[in-house]
Structures are given as C-alpha cells and as structure tokens.
C-alpha cells in the first residue's frame, strides 16, 4: 500500500487493467502475457494522453512563432524590465500563446507517469490480482534487477533492452542537438540567457533512461523502453521542423 491514498487507488485500478490485459492475451502470448500486458498498457496510456501532447506541441509552435517579436521587444525594452514583462504578456495574450497554457499539458501528464512508475515497481499483490513482479518473461521474473544477477536468460534480456534504450537515447539526443542548432542559427538565438549551456546539457538527458534501466526491475524497464520509443515516435511525427520553401 502507498502512503497517499488517491495514488494507491489509481495504482490499484491500473494493476487491475494490466491483469485483465494479461488474461486477454494469454492465448497468444503464453507465459509472456504479463510482460506483453505491460507494453500494451503503456501504449494505451500514451494514446490516452495524446490530446495533452498535441496541446503541448501547439503551444510550443505558437511560442516559437512569436520568437522574432519577443526578440524585438527585448531590444526595445531590455533596460525596462517591468515594461518588457508587460509587453511580453500582452503579446502572448493577443496571440493566444500563454506560456502557462503551453506548460500545463506537460504538467497534466505527470500523474499518469507517477502511477505507472509505482505500478511497475511495487512489490506484492496490487489491484486484487497476483503479484505483478512475480510474473516472468523468458523465465526472468518481472521484479528482477540487474543487481540480482545476469545469469541465464537475464543477461541477454537486459542486454537487448539496454541496447534499445541506447539506440533511442542516441536518436533523441541527435534530434535535440539538431533542434538546438536550428534555434541558435535564428537571429539572436545565441543571445538567450543560458542558451549555450542548455544546448550542451539537454542532449545528455535521454541517456538517463539507460542508467535507470540498471536499477529498475524488469517490468519498469519494459515500460521505459515502450514509453521512450513512443516519445521518439511522437518527436519524429509531431515535432518535425517546418518544410523549407523552395528557393528560400
């Protein structure tokens, strides 16, 4: 049981859904049914919060479209911080691109990820079903950690998952570096406070998933691979750079 009752209830509901999914896919997945259910459940949740992701992307695009006007305001009112702040707020209001509105969808996604983290790391029966982490994938318990040993099928299984996370981290980092380079190439792009530091640090963050896989149980690593792959797909589809006009 979790200390926070509403979170405990949400994790219980999620666990019940995972158990139901595992039962449904058992005829096809056999002993890997619970592992498959973890993957399907993660995809289902990501689909559920897709409207929030779309709202976040729209907010990012609106704010990006305002960048030239914001730089002009900084040039004109840079020495008058109060006037600059008011002008920036007015600009965002007129364009319907409130910074808070752009961040809100991302914040609303956090509870979903907190619930899934607790679900895939909780020990013992959750949601009225069997112990999720006691189920197995190719003979390896879903509660198995790298620190528990890599003998038998555990070594190859964790090896494949870590390689997948490394590949996804490399691809995501590469996209982030490209996006940072495009932003820096814009007029005034390198003049933002901390822009150079962020451009160096942000591309390193995706590799945190690899470190997490070394300390989390197998169920959580399966979730991590699935949700990271989904995020990479979203980045490729929803955050494509605008097409360049021929001859521009």
Print pLDDT tens along the chain (248 aa): 444 556 778 888 888 899 999 999 999 999 999 999 999 999 998 998 888 888 777 777 777 777 778 778 777 877 777 887 787 777 777 766 665 555 665 677 788 888 888 888 877 776 556 688 899 999 999 999 999 999 999 999 999 999 999 999 999 998 888 876 765 555 444 445 455 666 677 788 889 999 999 999 999 999 999 999 998 998 888 776 555 433 43
> What pLDDT does 102 receive?
54
Q: Determine, yes or no, domain membership for 247.
A: no
Q: Determine, yes or no, domain membership for 246.
A: no
> What pLDDT does 248 receive?
39
* pTM strictly above 0.85: no
> What pLDDT does 56 receive?
76
Rg (CA), the chain: 22
Domain carrying residue 100: 5-238
> What pLDDT does 246 receive?
39
Q: Determine, yes or no, domain membership for 245.
A: no
* Nearest residue to 38 (alpha-carbon basis) of 216, 196, 208, 238: 216
Q: Determine, yes or no, domain membership for 105.
A: yes
Q: Determine, yes or no, domain membership for 244.
A: no
Tokens describing residue 49: 């919060």
- Alpha helices, DSSP H only, in 30-136? 33-48, 50-65, 67-77, 81-95, 99-119
Q: Determine, yes or no, domain membership for 63.
A: yes
- Total domains, the chain: 1
User: Cβ-count burial of 21 within 10 angstroms (0-12 exposed, 13-18 middle, 19+ buried)?
Assistant: buried
Q: Determine, yes or no, domain membership for 79.
A: yes
> What pLDDT does 175 receive?
84
Rounded Cα–Cα distance for residues 140 and 208 (Å): 24
Q: Determine, yes or no, domain membership for 243.
A: no
């Amino acid at each position: 049981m979790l200390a926070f009752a509403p979170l405990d209830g949400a994790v219980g509901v999620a666990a019940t859904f995972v158990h139901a999914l595992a039962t449904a896919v058992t005829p096809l997945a056999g002993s890997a049914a619970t592992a498959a259910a973890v993957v399907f459940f993660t995809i289902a949740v990501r689909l559920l919060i897709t409207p929030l992701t779309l709202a976040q992307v729209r907010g990012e695009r609106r704010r990006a479209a305002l960048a030239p006007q914001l730089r002009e305001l900084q040039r004109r009112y840079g020495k008058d911080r109060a006037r600059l702040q008011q002008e920036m707020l007015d600009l965002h209001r007129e364009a319907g691109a409130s910074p808070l509105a752009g961040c809100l969808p991302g914040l609303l996604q956090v509870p979903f990820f907190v619930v899934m983290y607790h679900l895939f790391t909780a020990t013992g029966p959750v949601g009225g079903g069997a112990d999720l982490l006691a189920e197995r994938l190719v003979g390896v318990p879903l509660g198995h950690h790298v620190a528990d040993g890599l003998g038998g099928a555990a070594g190859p299984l964790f090896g494949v998952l870590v390689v997948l996370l490394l590949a996804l981290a490399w691809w995501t980092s590469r996209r982030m570096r490209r996006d940072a380079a495009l932003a820096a190439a814009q007029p005034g792009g390198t003049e933002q406070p901390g822009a150079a530091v962020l451009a160096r640090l942000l591309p390193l963050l995706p590799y945190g998933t690899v470190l997490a896989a070394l300390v989390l149980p197998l169920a959580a690593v399966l979730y991590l691979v699935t949700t990271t792959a989904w995020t990479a797909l979203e980045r490729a589809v929803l955050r494509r750079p605008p097409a360049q006009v021929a001859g521009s």
